Chain A
């Protein structure tokens, strides 16, 4: 029987009781800062002595309370996050930080701040493009975030402390990448559901505790004999957020999900924050340029006066080529949360790109409810059959 105090045993405990550790820490006097998106720099939160807690929606919880504040035809993930907040599911949170990663985040933030009073609430504006002036503006937004969080912490943020926090979070990024190395063999040594559990678990813990847990999980997985069974399809999944265990289970019913490009997968961990003399330069560059979310406008050449569609696709999706080749992917599922515009606009272009890579793909839309799992399973099974 797995030891519940470390490794995979502990992973299960932490995953299923995600808020338990932060509640313990709160009793010890720690303050918890919640954030619903990978664009929020958790490093700054950690550096000022708070515990960053990634807020996810809950597909299993029917949205009821959020109806008074957000329309039904709206991002169901953010509706769910707000709904959980109304229901005090995250009542241990002392403050919320939201980034302008997309319209739903921006619009929900205004409503969230209006309806629920927290001791601390901060909104980080995030530009849409990668121009030099956009980067400079975003750096200014991060320094504003630092100021308000310093005020809430009652202390100043030192450069050294921030550098140390960046190093800890980079270590976590490296560990998650190491976890994904374990899906390269055939069959993979670790399943997509176990990776999803790992990511969600560590994002509910202080960064050092999360790193410790990941190291233990990696160590156990490398030597265990009862890993996932080999399945004919090695899938890459691409979506905004893939944060539900049962949903991943549906995808893995007939396949090995060896790479998940989502905010519950590799996306927040794909590369490190660069070490720069002013750490805010490294943070601004990382969060604006390196997080591969569809919300960011990328062009093959900044300010180009001609357009080449193939080069444009390569700029936007070229990082996926490396993932496809490196992980020997033979099929891709693009999951679209209904009403997610940035990812929806990408669909035809992304399918064009995968067609050029010679990788079969399908796009499946779902509404982020438990009821969507059954039809999703049918679509997944049908797609897997085409892979042979």
Chain B
């Protein structure tokens, strides 16, 4: 008699799989593009700023940050880190950058530009240019600048303004941010046209931007539905499905249909009170970058009744905004991209929280998604994803009586995350969450 398969603790959405599949498709497509002599760009996550431009111009983009996670998960990163060390890059640098330095060093210095045989997902071909961004951290443009040691490839650095919360509401301040973005994009289009010798199809850009906005609007609506009890979609599905929206992967009309299918599936679960886990005892918010290499850790927590209902500010679609009155696609792109980080500023100002992006959003998440606890995952070599976490922990406890559990890890050194040790903390943290649940009741909170 066949052995009964153990029921999985997390009910994964069927509609997630086609979206996740687009990640592999994107890498294969770029390998095909390279083989066909088409240009490929290495890009930083640029929060909808440069990607629509390149999509409209039919330029393949691969993302070394993403690829770093693949290198880590497949165990290939280790040797590349050794190359980076040997080349004199300090070891505290972003693990993804170090893995990429090693990959590039091997590809260019040893293999004359050929992709290393051990590179997963078909590797990343030598790019025609590097698309950096000042968004989120210094590494995301300094890294690409440092690649000049290995490749004589130009670097474009996008500006991503990061004003203070109250400063942004000073007269003219936001308009100047928009002006910066539009002028930056105009210059970028001109740069790409010059480099590739092809002109922008502005009609196609218009359509791409509209699709980008619609895809992310649907994605936003899906995540809003997770406020309900039981939460119909687990964070694992968020992380699996997010890439096509965040990186504009695949054919956008098809991506939109995939997200609409997900929207229907999640609605259906809500109507039938089907949760992402069978017995939702605790609702959690997760910050910031997940342990990509050990996501089954969440299955163990799901067995205990932990449903992760909201997560990862840095990956979320921007809060909806009405851009219908704006005809210039570059301005629509700019305002949409700015919304990612500054969309929470008004709330943050009202709540008197100066940390308007990265930190304040977690206050909103915990309150609106009715979280019992936060799981915070600082990463030793990713300071941009970790610095805000002590403040988040303080803020959640002080303002909402929501406690946090901190479990350390790293983006490439997988030895630093110990799932067994982390799971051992689960039971004591459940007691803490129960305690604060009572305390919230006493203080008049409605969850």
Contacts and interface: CB of A to CB of B under 8 A. Distances in A.
B386 interface: yes
Contacts of A73: 92, 378, 380, 383, 386
A127 B148 contact: no
B163 A69 contact: no
Interface stretch (A52-60, A101-109, A156-164): A101-109
Given A127-B161, A134-B159, A306-B154, A345 B355 contact: no
Given A109-B164, A114-B353, A133 B394 contact: no
Interface string B356-388: 100100000000000000000010100110111
Nearest to B185: A133
A150 B149 CA distance: 47
Contact of B355 (A114, A122, A133): A114
A137 B153 CA distance: 28
Nearest to A111: B391
Contacts of B87: 348
Interface stretch (B135-143, B237-245, B302-310): B135-143
Contact of A125 (B138, B167, B378, B391): B167
B323 interface: no
A323 to B, nearest CB: 22
A268 B123 CA distance: 44
B391 A69 contact: yes
Interface residues of A, number: 63
Interface string A325-347: 00000000000101101101111
Most buried by A among B90, B139, B141, B163: B90
B180 interface: yes
B180 A71 contact: no
B43 to A, nearest CB: 16
B424 interface: no
Contacts, number: 187
A12 B177 CA distance: 46
Contacts of A309: 148-149, 152
Contacts of B134: 127-129, 297
B390 A68 contact: yes
A341 B94 contact: yes
A114 B354 contact: yes
A123 B167 contact: yes
B390 A69 contact: yes
A295 interface: yes
B152 A71 contact: no
A123 B163 contact: yes
A71 B139 CA distance: 18
Contacts of B354: 109-110, 113-114, 121
A296 to B, nearest CB: 10
A367 to B, nearest CB: 10
Q: Which of B138, B152, B170 has the most CB of A within 10 A?
A: B138
A294 B389 contact: no
Contacts of B221: none
Given A71-B386, A307-B153, A341 B353 contact: no
Interface in B40-88: 87-88
Contact of B159 (A137, A351, A352): A137
Contacts of A144: 167, 170, 173
A297 B390 CA distance: 30
B28 interface: no
B157 interface: yes
A363 interface: yes
Given A133-B179, A351-B88, A125 B141 contact: no
Contacts of B148: 307, 309, 312, 349
A207 interface: no
A140 B176 contact: yes
Can you list the 6 inter-chain pairs with the closest CB atoms, starting with the nearest?
A123-B164, A133-B183, A110-B355, A128-B134, A345-B142, A113-B354
Interface of B: 87-90, 92-94, 97, 129, 132, 134, 137-139, 141-143, 145-146, 148-149, 151-157, 159, 161-164, 167, 170, 172-173, 176-177, 179-180, 183-184, 187, 190-191, 194-195, 353-356, 359, 378, 380, 383-384, 386-391, 394
Given A73-B386, A344-B89, 14 more contacts: A68-B394, A128-B157, A133-B180, A137-B179, A141-B163, A295-B138, A297-B134, A297-B145, A303-B156, A303-B187, A305-B195, A307-B154, A336-B90, A341-B138
